[in-house]
C-alpha cells in the first residue's frame, strides 16, 4: 500500500522536474558554455556557467563514473544550490549533464547540499541535505532521490527522511554506505555546546533511519562544524575524513581557514562506535592536502578496488578572481588513495590521467639557474633529481607573479609560495626514495603538486598572465619531462535527445 503511494508520488514529481531540468539545461547551455574565458580549466571539471563548490556525490553506474557537485548556474557566487552533474567512461574525459537535483520543494528551497550518490539494485540513489529558512531559523534535513538512468532523478514523496538533527540546527552532508544488511549514515551536526559532532544513523531500507548517537565530537580545538564526513577502509584500517571549520592556525600549521584531513582508527558495526582511544583532535588529525585550495572530499570504491577521491579545488571565503566572468572554481584531479607502511595516506593522480597527454614537449636535464618555457597553460611536469640533494626548487613564473616549490632536505620540509601575505604553505617531507620526484599539473588557473609517492600534495589556485616559464634552483641538476595536456571536459549534445525520449518512460518500479 505504502509502496504504491510512493511510486505514484515520485512519478508526478518526476515529470514536472524533468521539464524544469531540460529548460534549465538549455538556458545555461546557450550562454557562454565552457567559453575560452581567461583562467578556465580545460581538463578539470568546472561549472558550465556560474559557481561550483564541493563534489556532492561520486559513483559508478551503468558503466560510467558520475560526479555531482554543488552548482549555482546564475552567477559566480554561492546561492540556491543544486547538484551539477558530469559523467565519464574513463575518469579522464568528462561530459556535462543537466543538473540532477534542483531545489523546488519547501523543505529544500534554499538549497540541495552535498551528500552521497550510490548504486543499489540497478538504481542510482542520492542522499542530500535540504535547507530552508522559517522565520529567523535555518532548518536542515536529509533527503533521498532515485534514478533509473543516472540522469533524471525522482525525489522521494516522503522527504525529508530525517527532518531535523537531535541537537542544534546545523546538520548536513550525509555519507551513506551499506555494511551487511544495514545501511549507515554519518552526518555533520553540532553538540549541545555548539561544537562540531558526527551523528551515526542506521536503516534497514534507506528510507527509515534511527539515530545511533554521536560517534565523535570536537572539544573546542577541532572547530564548530565538520562537513563532508567520509568513512572507509583501506588495508583493514578505518579512515575518517572530515572537512573542518574552526581549527585555529598554529604557526605554519593549519594555515588555511578551513581544513580537510583524516584520522586513523577502527570502527565497530556491533557497537556503532570507534575504538575507545579514538579521538578527533589536532594531534590525531592529518592534513590531506597542504595547498591553499583544497576542501570537501568525496570518495568511491572503483570496481577494481581502488579508493578514488575528488575534492573541491577551492575553499570558503577564497577570492575567486574569475567570478567577474560569472563562473567560479573547479574540482581537483581524481586521486587514488593508498596507505603507506607507516599508516600515512598517499595521494596520487589516478593512473588513467596519462591519457591526457597529447604531446611530450620537453625532456632534458636542467642545472640550477636554468629555465625553460612551458608549452601553454595545460601541462604536466615530471621532475626527478639524480641523487639525494640538499635543495630542489622549482619556480613557475609569469609576468607579475610566481609559484615557488621548495624542498630543503636539512629541514625535512617542502613549501610552496604563491606570493602575498598569506602565500606560504608548508609540509614535512622526508622523501622515501633517495631521489626527489615531483609531478606537477597546471590547468590554466590551478596547480597540483604531487611529491614522491604522494606523501605530500599541494593544490592551489594561481592566476598566471602570459607565458609561464619554469626555473630550476637548488644544488643539483634535475631531469624534466613536460607533456602538453588536452581538453577533456565537454558537452554532450546527445543528452537532450535522451531526455526528450525518456519523458514518458519514467514509469519504472522502484526498489523498495
Ligand X SMILES: *[C@@H]1O[C@H](CO)[C@@H](O)[C@H](O)[C@H]1NC(C)=O
**Closest CB 269 distance from ligand X, rounded Å:** 6
By CB under 6 A, the count of residues binding ligand X is 11
Contact 57, 298 (CB under 8 A): yes
Stretch 349-388: interaction string toward ligand X, x if CB under 6 A: -----------------------------------x----
State the cell numbers at 23: 529548460
CB of 134 to ligand X, least distance (A): 9
Which of helix, strand or coil describes residue 39? Answer: coil
CA distance 297 to 353: 19
Q: Does 136 bind ligand X (CB under 6 A)?
A: yes
Nearer to ligand X, 72 or 439 (CB): 439
Our finding on whether 135 is near ligand X (CB under 6 A) is yes
Is 476 a binder of ligand X (CB under 6 A)? no
Question: What's CA 279's distance to the chain center, in Å?
Answer: 24
Residue 180 interacts with ligand X (CB under 6 A): yes or no: no
Binding track, positions 421-440, relative to ligand X; x by CB under 6 A: ------------x---x---
Q: Using an 8 Å Cβ cutoff, are 454 and 340 in contact?
A: no
Output the DSSP codes for 241-283: EEEEE-PPPBTTBS-SSEEEEEEEE-EETTTTEE-TT---STT
Q: Which is nearer to ligand X, 169 or 212 (CB)?
A: 212
Nearer to ligand X among residue 201 and residue 320 (C-beta): 201
Closer CB to ligand X, residue 82 or residue 409?
409
Q: What are phi and psi of 505, to 5 degrees?
A: -115, 30
Q: Which residue is nearest to ligand X (CB)?
A: 272
- Under the binding rule (CB under 6 A), the answer on residue 178 touching ligand X is no
Closest CA relative to residue 385, chosen from 367, 397, 370, 362: 367
Q: How many CA atoms lie within 13 A of 442 on its CB side?
A: 26
Least CB distance to ligand X at residue 37 (A): 35
Which phi and psi (to 5°) does residue 250 adopt? -135, 90
Using CB under 6 A as the criterion, what x/- string covers residues 186-225 for binding ligand X? ----------------x-------x-x-------------
Residue among 284 and 437 whose Cβ is closer to ligand X: 437
Tell me the C-alpha distance between 190 and 251, whole Å. 27
CA distance 72 to 81: 5
Helix, strand or coil for residue 306? coil
Nearer of residues 166 and 272 to ligand X, judged by Cβ: 272
Output the smallest distance, CB 435 to ligand X, in A.
7
Amino acid at each position: 500500500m505504502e509502496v504504491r503511494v510512493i511510486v505514484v508520488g515520485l512519478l508526478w514529481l518526476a515529470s514536472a522536474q524533468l521539464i524544469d531540468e531540460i529548460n534549465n539545461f538549455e538556458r545555461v547551455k546557450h550562454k557562454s558554455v565552457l567559453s575560452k574565458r581567461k583562467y578556465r580549466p580545460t581538463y578539470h571539471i568546472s561549472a558550465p556557467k556560474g559557481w561550483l563548490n564541493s563534489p556532492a556525490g561520486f559513483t559508478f553506474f551503468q558503466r560510467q563514473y558520475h560526479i555531482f557537485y554543488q552548482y549555482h548556474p546564475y552567477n559566480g557566487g554561492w546561492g540556491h544550490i543544486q547538484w551539477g552533474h558530469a559523467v565519464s567512461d574513463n575518469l579522464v574525459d568528462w561530459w556535462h549533464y543537466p543538473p540532477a537535483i534542483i531545489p523546488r520543494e519547501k523543505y529544500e528551497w534554499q538549497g540541495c547540499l552535498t551528500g552521497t550518490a550510490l548504486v543499489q539494485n540497478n538504481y542510482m540513489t542520492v542522499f542530500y541535505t535540504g535547507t530552508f529558512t522559517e522565520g529567523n531559523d535555518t532548518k536542515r534535513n536529509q533527503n533521498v532521490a532515485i534514478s533509473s538512468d543516472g540522469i533524471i532523478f525522482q525525489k522521494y514523496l516522503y522527504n525529508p527522511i530525517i527532518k531535523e538533527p537531535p541537537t542544534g540546527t546545523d546538520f548536513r552532508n550525509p555519507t551513506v554506505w551499506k555494511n551487511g544488511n544495514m545501511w549507515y549514515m554519518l552526518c555533520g551536526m553540532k553538540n549541545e555546546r555548539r561544537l562540531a559532532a558526527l551523528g551515526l544513523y542506521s536503516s534497514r531500507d534507506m528510507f527509515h533511519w534511527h539515530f545511533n548517537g554521536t560517534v565523535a565530537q570536537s572539544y573546542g580545538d577541532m572547530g564548530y562544524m565538520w562537513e563532508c564526513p567520509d568513512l572507509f577502509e583501506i588495508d583493514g584500517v578505518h579512515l575518517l575524513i572530515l572537512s573542518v571549520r574552526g581549527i585555529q592556525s598554529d604557526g605554519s600549521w593549519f594555515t588555511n581557514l578551513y581544513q580537510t584531513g583524516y584520522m586513523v582508527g577502527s570502527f565497530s558495526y556491533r557497537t556503532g562506535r570507534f575504538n575507545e582511544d579514538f579521538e578527533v583532535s589536532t594531534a590525531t588529525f592529518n592534513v590531506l592536502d597542504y595547498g591553499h585550495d583544497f576542501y570537501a572530499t568525496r570518495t568511491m570504491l572503483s570496481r577494481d578496488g581502488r579508493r578514488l577521491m575528488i575534492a573541491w579545488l577551492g575553499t570558503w571565503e577564497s577570492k575567486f578572481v574569475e567570478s567577474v566572468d560569472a563562473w567560479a572554481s573547479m574540482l581537483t584531479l581524481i586521486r587514488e588513495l593508498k596507505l603507506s607502511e607507516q599508516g600515512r595516506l598517499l595521494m596520487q593522480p589516478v593512473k588513467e590521467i596519462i591519457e591526457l597527454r597529447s604531446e611530450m614537449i620537453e625532456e632534458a636535464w636542467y642545472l640550477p639557474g636554468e629555465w625553460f618555457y612551458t608549452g601553454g597553460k595545460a601541462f604536466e611536469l615530471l621532475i626527478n633529481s639524480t641523487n639525494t640533494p640538499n635543495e630542489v626548487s622549482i619556480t613557475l613564473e609569469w609576468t607579475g607573479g610566481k609559484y615557488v616549490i621548495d624542498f630543503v632536505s636539512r629541514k625535512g620540509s617542502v613549501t610552496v609560495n604563491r606570493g602575498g601575505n598569506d602565500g606560504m604553505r608548508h609540509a614535512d617531507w622526508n622523501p622515501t626514495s633517495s631521489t626527489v620526484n615531483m609531478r606537477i599539473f597546471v590547468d590554466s588557473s590551478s596547480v597540483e603538486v604531487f611529491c614522491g609517492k604522494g606523501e605530500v600534495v599541494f593544490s592551489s589556485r594561481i592566476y598566471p598572465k602570459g607565458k609561464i616559464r619554469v626555473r630550476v634552483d637548488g644544488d643539483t641538476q634535475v631531469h624534466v619531462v613536460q607533456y602538453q595536456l588536452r581538453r577533456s571536459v565537454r558537452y554532450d549534445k546527445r543528452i537532450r535527445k535522451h531526455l526528450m525520449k525518456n519523458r514518458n518512460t519514467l514509469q519504472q518500479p522502484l526498489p523498495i
